[in-house]
A and B are shown apart, each in its own frame.
Chain A
Amino acid sequence: MTQKNKEVCIELVLKLSGTITVLTTFGIIWVLFSESFSFFKEVSIVEFLTDNQWTPLFANKRFGIMPLISGTLLTTAIALTVALPLGLSIAIYLSEYAPKRLRLIVKPLLEMLASIPTVVYGFFALMIVTPFLKTILPNISGFNALSAGIVMGIMIIPFISSMSEDALRSVPKSIREASYGIGATRLQTSFRVMVPAASSGIIVSVILAFSRAIGETMIVAIAAGQQPRLTLNPLVPIETITAYIVQVSLGDVPHGSLEYKTIFAAGMTLFVFTFILNNIAFWVRKKFREEYE
């Protein structure tokens, strides 16, 4: 084979593997849509979006996705309440305050937090955090949104801190020095100059953390319960979209049945949420890159 032909073949092989990622996306969309489509032949979209009960596995079947969405958003909100202040403080501290050596030690340790399998976090939530919360809030249930949300928050701290820190550090040094040069303190420099300058990067980190929390599965499947209910009470069992999919997967639901299709309708709802968030993040990041190029 001549060198020229070899080059062409190699490029073709590389291109083929590139198309696998496109096929994956098509696969996901196709799988979710086709199964959801046949789901919506039997259940009206209006019921799906407006009914306030989700009981596909009971004798009296109701198909309102709202309770699952509320459960998902509740745990996510708790997680962000924990992770946002902590993650941002860590990011600002590491990029503006901490001595270099401390940063070099702490950063990989924080990344380790992100590498812990989520099933382990689930164990933390159920076996350690919930019993601890019970000593403060005696009427909290064994499964609840609070404990799962808090642990999920701890899990996503490194996402926010690491990405926000990168954003802060990519701000040109001259900007920081200009602020110091007119006598600003580190705190003033951080919040009045650096954070605004890095705002798009920080926003991206928050959106991605949000998206990550919505899609998180094992922590909520283990610690938040399996009772879909439309509530903002963090002390009682709820169910998230992801936990529902796990619940059905563990059972013996025959392929083609309406119950089987519910997990695709639920998955599709989840996918739409994360897809929108990820695209906003992508778009913001793109704008951000253009600003500094």
Chain B
Amino acid sequence: MNRGYINRIKDKAFGLVGLIATLFGLLILTFLIGQVFYEGYNRIDLDFIKSLPSRKPEKAGIYTALAGTVWILFLTTIFSLPLGISTGIYLEEYTKKSRFTDLLEINVSNLAGVPSIIYGLLGLEVFGRMLNLGNSLLAGALTLSLLVLPIIIVTTREAIRAVPNSLRMASYGLGASKWQTIWEQILPASMGGILTGVILAISRAVGETAPLLVVGALAYVPFAPSSPLDEFTVLPIQIFNWISRPQHGFSVNAAAAILLLLTITFIMNGVAVYLRNRWQKKHNW
């Protein structure tokens, strides 16, 4: 056997290893979701969705958690979307390269790497205690907004950077001001990418548990919140709570709630991926 032959065998072998590794991740995912599906599917019905929490697993439902999740989704979007997009625009279009922008850049990259539970500690002190919002929806949503801000900023910047400079020059060349150029040309051209980032960020917020636990979101909230200052729970916290209980009935509930939570996140991610692809195809500069 010559070396060339051995090398070819090795080459083929690694190709197989790579394929197996790739499939392994996906198969594990399928298996785990399959298990959850098997466990929780039968539990999902209208009663489960409409019922308030209860000490008896078969009577307990996710109504308050679902309402809390919707509230959180709504409020977090309101806070983080304008802030994140504005910051992205500022960093990409207004700042000249300087020490200050270097600092801002390191800062955003660092914030993206701060563990979510640390944001919880920040929210607990600043929103919960100093602004006296306690464990309200508002405190939770503000905390999550800061958490997802870096995601929106980074994707906004990437999307803006993808807009060819010739478009900018064409607009300036016609006498458009900076903001007119941004508003009329750059934002429409990068909207697909920005929206993708926003959806991914919000989907992250919907799945977060730890920071809300620290801020003090409660596992047992008997009524759906009716204002941003009310106490609340969300799906992930409800799931966490059910997992921690010994009775088998609650882990079935947890599985059912997980199925709903996964459906929400997968739909949001699916939309984001779809938007990204469509946007990439449409703007093939």
Contacts and interface: CB of A to CB of B under 8 A. Distances in A.
Question: Do A and B touch, yes or no (CB under 8 Å, in the complex)?
Answer: yes
Contacts of B21: 85-86, 89-90, 93
A214 to B, nearest CB: 7
Given A17-B86, A127-B251, A186-B11, A115 B240 contact: no
A112, A217, A278, A279: most-surrounded residue (chain B CB, <10 A): A217
A249 B120 contact: yes
B209 A90 contact: no
A122 B243 CA distance: 9
Interface residues on A, range: 35 or more
B132 interface: no
Contact of A211 (B113, B120, B251): B113
A97 interface: yes
Contact of A110 (B26, B240, B244): B26
B111 A21 contact: yes
B112 to A, nearest CB: 8
Contacts of A17: 82-83, 86-87, 90
Interface residues on B, range: 35 or more
A9 to B, nearest CB: 9
A115 B108 CA distance: 21
Given A249-B216, A250-B213, A282 B110 contact: yes
B149 A111 contact: no
Interface string A200-220: 000000001001101111100
A31 B122 contact: yes
A21, A161, A186: most-surrounded residue (chain B CB, <10 A): A21
B125 interface: yes
Interface string A94-121: 1001100000001011111101111110
B258 A122 contact: no
A20 B115 contact: no
A181 interface: no
Given A21-B87, A24-B111, A214-B115, A10 B179 contact: yes
Contacts of A122: 240, 243
B162 interface: no
Given A25-B107, A118-B209, A264-B121, A185 B11 contact: yes
Interface in B97-117: 103-104, 106-111, 113-117
A155 to B, nearest CB: 10
A110 B28 CA distance: 11
A7 B87 contact: no
Contacts of A263: 121, 214
B54 interface: no
A275 B114 CA distance: 7
Contacts of B233: none
Interface in B178-212: 178-179, 200, 203-204, 206-210
Interface in A210-267: 211-212, 214-218, 221-222, 242, 245-246, 249-250, 255, 263-264, 267
Interface in A164-209: 185-188, 190, 208
A7 to B, nearest CB: 5
B177 interface: yes
Interface in B29-53: 29, 32, 35-36, 39
Given A117-B209, A119-B209, A215-B115, A93 B153 contact: no
B25 to A, nearest CB: 5
Given A28-B122, A122-B240, A185-B8, A94 B115 contact: no
B15 interface: yes
Given A86-B21, A109-B26, A110-B25, A14 B89 contact: yes
B91 interface: yes
A135 interface: no
B118 A119 contact: no
A93 B91 CA distance: 36
Interface string A25-68: 10110011001000000000000000000000000000000000
Nearest to B178: A7
A139 B172 CA distance: 71
A77 interface: no
A117 B269 CA distance: 12
Contact of A218 (B8, B110, B119, B209): B209
A111 B270 CA distance: 11
Given A187-B14, A267-B117, A93 B22 contact: yes
A157 B112 CA distance: 18
Contacts of A116: 29, 207, 262, 265
Nearest to B119: A28
B255 interface: yes
Nearest to B261: A117
Which 10 pairs between the two chains have the least Cβ-Cβ distance?
Answer: A93-B18, A215-B115, A117-B207, A278-B113, A217-B210, A14-B90, A89-B21, A17-B86, A185-B11, A187-B11
5 contacts: A32-B118, A86-B21, A89-B22, A186-B11, A187-B14
Given A90-B22, A154-B25, 5 more contacts: A93-B17, A117-B209, A217-B115, A249-B216, A255-B129
